[in-house]
C-alpha cells in the first residue's frame, strides 16, 4: 500500500497544540548531557579540509518576460526539452565569467544584485 507524502510550507503548517507545547517545554528543560550523539559521526579535520561552501545552494527562480532573437530561441529549442534551463545556465556561466574577470564586483547572494565595493 502506497503512503501519501505530506508536505508543508510555512503558510500551511498545522498549529502547535497544547500537547506539542508541553512536549517542547519538557525537551527544553533537559540538559545537553542527555542528548545521544552515538548515531552522528564525529567531524574530523579531514572532513573540513574537503568541505565545500554553498554546495547545496539553489537560487530561487523568478518568472520574467524577455525578448530573444528568433534564431537564438530556435537553436535553444532545437536542443530538446529544457531550453529555459539551458538559457539560464548560459546566462549564469557568462555572469560568473564576468564576475571573475572584474575585481571589486561581487554577487550578493540574498538579493542577487551586483554591487561595487567602495575603493
Look at residue 94 and tell me whether its pLDDT is greater than 90.
yes
Look at residue 118 and tell me whether its pLDDT is greater than 60.
no
Question: 75-86: per-residue pLDDT in tens?
Answer: 999 999 999 999
Place of cell 568541505: 51
Q: Could you tell me how far CA 3 lies from the centroid of its own chain?
A: 28
Report the distance separating Cα 30 and Cα 95, nearest Å: 49
What is this structure's pTM?
A: 0.44
Q: Is residue 119 within 8 Å of residue 104, measured between CB atoms?
A: yes
Report the distance separating Cα 117 and Cα 119, nearest Å: 6
The full set of domain ranges for the chain reads 68-100
Sequence-separated (6 or more) residues with CB below 8 Å from residue 16: 24
Amino acid at each position: 500500500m502506497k503512503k501519501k507524502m505530506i508536505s508543508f510550507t510555512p503558510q500551511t503548517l498545522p498549529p502547535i497544540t497544547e500537547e506539542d507545547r508541553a512536549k517542547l517545554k519538557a525537551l527544553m528543560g533537559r540538559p545537553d548531557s542527555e542528548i545521544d550523539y552515538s548515531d552522528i559521526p564525529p567531524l574530523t579535520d579531514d572532513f573540513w579540509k574537503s568541505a565545500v561552501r554553498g554546495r547545496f545552494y539553489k537560487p530561487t527562480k523568478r518568472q520574467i518576460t524577455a525578448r530573444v532573437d528568433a534564431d537564438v530561441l530556435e537553436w535553444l529549442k532545437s536542443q530538446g526539452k529544457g531550453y529555459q534551463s539551458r538559457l539560464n545556465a548560459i546566462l549564469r556561466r557568462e555572469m560568473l565569467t564576468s564576475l571573475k574577470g572584474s575585481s571589486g564586483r561581487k554577487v550578493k547572494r540574498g538579493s542577487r544584485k551586483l554591487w561595487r565595493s567602495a575603493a
